[in-house]
Chain A
Amino acid sequence: MSAVNDSVLFLVLRRMRAPLIVMILIYAVSILGLVLIPAVDAGGAPTAPMSFFDAFYFVSYTASTIGFGEIPNAFSYGQRFWVTACIYLTVIGWTYSILSILNLLKDDGLQRALATGRFYRKVKNLSEPFCIICGVGETGSLICTTLDQVQMRFVVLDTRPEPLQELELGDYLADVPALNADAQIPGILLLAGLRHSHCKAVLAVTNSDEANLAIAMNVRLLNPGIPVIARAEHAATAANMDSFGTNFVVDPYALYARRLALAMRSPPSYQLVEWLTRVPGTPIPELHKPPTGKWIVCGYGHFGRAIVQHLDTMGLHDDVRIIDPRPTNPDDHLSIVSAGTEASPLIDAGIKNAVGLVAASDNDINNLSIAITARELNPDLFIVMRQSSSANSMLFEAFDANLTMITTQTVAHACLSYLTTPMLSRFIREIEKQPAAWAESLIKALTPICAGCVPFVWTTRINRVKTPALAQALHNVDCPVSVAALMTSNRDRRESLKLLPLMLERAGQIILRPAPDLPLHNGDKIIWTGTREAWNEQKLTASYGNALNYVLTGKSSTGSWLGKYLNG
């Protein structure tokens, strides 16, 4: 990118030409005048004028306003006339030059060129794995905060300068390279490190579906090896993205509707999914049990449609009433054309004997209005609300609906769980297939570990690079290592760590909730959940030979040859 630096230099040089020429001319004229005008000696008699060198010296300290006044004799009046003129000339000359330089530095083009150069250098010097986040609106900044907490680095692109300024002021653990540019332009993505050896993923979470689509396409074509996670609000865009192989398309409405259906079918499973996908360290969300029965859906947009589809698959087709201001033909559901914010359409839809209501329009105030009216008409109603903007959080918290779907948070959580633990989405699909009793037993096992906070979720991959000690031990076929080795503390092997194995993947096969006596093989991938301290201890056991040795045999040694010889 030396072209960027060069162009900055050339721009500066070009702009400086006029001021420099003015200064040279002013100096030349002043010196010439002083060399021609006769001086006077101490007595007052006229003598030869100053030499060139004296004149140059005098003009130098006069023009820079230092004013030594050091030339031995006082000036003649002719000289004084000339010097007066010089003073005004030179001061104007310097002012012009300095103002030109300042204007140049303020120049937008120059600033942008400098910022791009700085950004490029910062990205080039990254030596840890990082993601590229395109779009730091509410979703993007939520993702940034969480990634920072799990100590993953990221590079940020956005077309607006304000979110980037907020990012600068934010309290992040590491330096965040940020650029105000359009990520749809392939050159910008390359600048942000798309082909960098440490780039791990690209997240396209801007507000615009077309932009996300363009970014996903750019990544697919420029560097197919990098996973791209894209947000799509419309089904058409989601299908488009899937068609060229976007790794993970986040459709917040479909996702939430699926979770809601899960919550209706099997509340413990839904609770388990919530526990595993929320931001670690935050308090555990309370259990919600949306009832099955008659549901009213207000607003047949994307969210409403997704919910109705899931309700249909649960066999509640005839119990669904749709209220929407636009007349649509929604697959033979009973529908009322209305905004739904007054009492009468709600009563017509049968709110008095309904069990639940979904306020799914895209306007937060309308949703609140619908919900308030509904609660007045039927206080026992299970209300699900859609919140589009975090700015209205206070209103939604004050109303306290049973379930509030915050679009930006849903997208952020989905992206984060895919990014930090890709196996997790597979595990969640497995949870959805299991019966409620299975989920309940897992929750019971998890409760003492979690202590009221959302646990951390991580994956362990057993190979020579990630877990050297464990891989080494597994080469010894006569000494099998089981899952229990990774569940024991390496400070005191009678203590077990506060974690649980959720799923083990071996050669494409999965084992849910592996038993502690299951032997491990090289190449296994295991998802764990537990506290952060347990995670750190387990990492140490798997990587450090002495710790693993202690856990397996109970003998603590330094591992040196002398120690091994003396201890036998």
Chain B
Amino acid sequence: MNLEKVVFGFFIVLAATLNFGFFIGDIDRPELHHIYELFAAIVVNLIATTLKFGDRTQIGAIHLATSLVADLQLIAAAVTWGFAVHVMHLGMTPEITASVVSLSGGALFANVVSVIFLIAETLMMRR
């Protein structure tokens, strides 16, 4: 039982689940997408990206790539939200909500790819 692998797997799956939790719900209803969950998703995704640094294998490279994509999309979602509310003073209209949630949907897709790679890697090691 490898503690490092437990931590690695934990953060990857946590990132995917938090992202999914934020994403799920009607795309244009702001009350169904809570900002704290987006915050948690961003933090855990960043931590998961950092954990993936420094791996020289091919699978490690793909993990890092998908993580970076997810980070990019989630940060874009947060920036859109902040910009719309504070700069443009529009509030969370259905259109803005839809933009934010679709960006987080993109991040979710990247996270799911990462989870699939994790599963594949684990299945390759039959012990």
B53 touches A24 (CB 8 A): no
Contacts of B36 on A, CB cut-off 8 Å? 35
A24 touches B54 (CB 8 A): no
A20 touches B50 (CB 8 A): yes
Assembly CA distance A52 to B82 (angstroms): 8
Assembly CA distance A24 to B78 (angstroms): 16
A150-194 to B contact mask, C-beta < 8 Å, 1/0 = 000000000000000000000000000000000000000000000
Of the 9-residue stretches B18-26, B39-47, B118-126, which lies at the interface with chain A?
A: B39-47
Contact partner, B56, options A10, A21, A25, A32, Cβ 8 Å? A10
B44-69 to A contact mask, C-beta < 8 Å, 1/0 = 00110011011110000000000000
B85 touches A51 (CB 8 A): yes
Assess whether A202 is interfacial by the CB under 8 Å rule: no
B43 touches A11 (CB 8 A): no
A14 touches B43 (CB 8 A): no
Assess whether A110 is interfacial by the CB under 8 Å rule: no
Assembly CA distance A20 to B36 (angstroms): 22
A13 and B53 in contact, given A24-B46, A51-B86 (Cβ under 8 angstroms): yes
Assess whether B32 is interfacial by the CB under 8 Å rule: no
Contacts of B85 on A, CB cut-off 8 Å? 51, 53
Residue with the highest number of chain A CB atoms closer than 10 Å, among B53, B55, B82, B85:
B53
Contacts of B78 on A, CB cut-off 8 Å? 52
* Residue of chain B at shortest CB distance from A11: B54
B39 touches A25 (CB 8 A): no
B39 touches A16 (CB 8 A): no
* Chain B residues with a Cβ closer than 8 Å to the other chain, count: 16
Contact partner, A17, options B35, B39, B53, B86, Cβ 8 Å? B53
B50 touches A24 (CB 8 A): yes
Contacts of A238 on B, CB cut-off 8 Å? none
A32 touches B53 (CB 8 A): no
A24-51 to B contact mask, C-beta < 8 Å, 1/0 = 1100100110010000000000000001
B47 touches A21 (CB 8 A): yes
A53 touches B43 (CB 8 A): no
Assembly CA distance A14 to B55 (angstroms): 8
B47 touches A24 (CB 8 A): yes
A13 and B82 in contact, given A24-B43, A32-B39 (Cβ under 8 angstroms): no
Q: Nearest chain B CB to A71's CB is how many angstroms away? A: 13
Contacts of A17 on B, CB cut-off 8 Å? 50-51, 53-54
Other A-B pairs, 14, CB within 8 Å; known A14-B53, A14-B54, A15-B54 = A13-B54, A17-B50, A17-B51, A17-B53, A21-B47, A21-B51, A24-B47, A25-B47, A28-B39, A51-B86, A52-B39, A52-B82, A53-B82, A53-B86
Interface residue ranges, A against B (CB under 8 Å): 6, 10-11, 13-17, 20-21, 24-25, 28, 31-32, 35, 51-54
List 24 contacting pairs A-B, 8 Å CB cutoff, sorted by A.
Answer: A10-B54, A10-B55, A11-B54, A13-B54, A14-B53, A14-B54, A15-B54, A17-B50, A17-B54, A20-B50, A21-B47, A21-B51, A24-B46, A25-B43, A25-B47, A28-B39, A31-B39, A35-B39, A51-B82, A52-B35, A52-B39, A52-B82, A53-B86, A54-B86
Q: Top 10 nearest A-B pairs by Cβ distance?
A: A14-B54, A53-B82, A13-B53, A13-B54, A28-B43, A20-B50, A24-B46, A21-B50, A10-B54, A17-B53
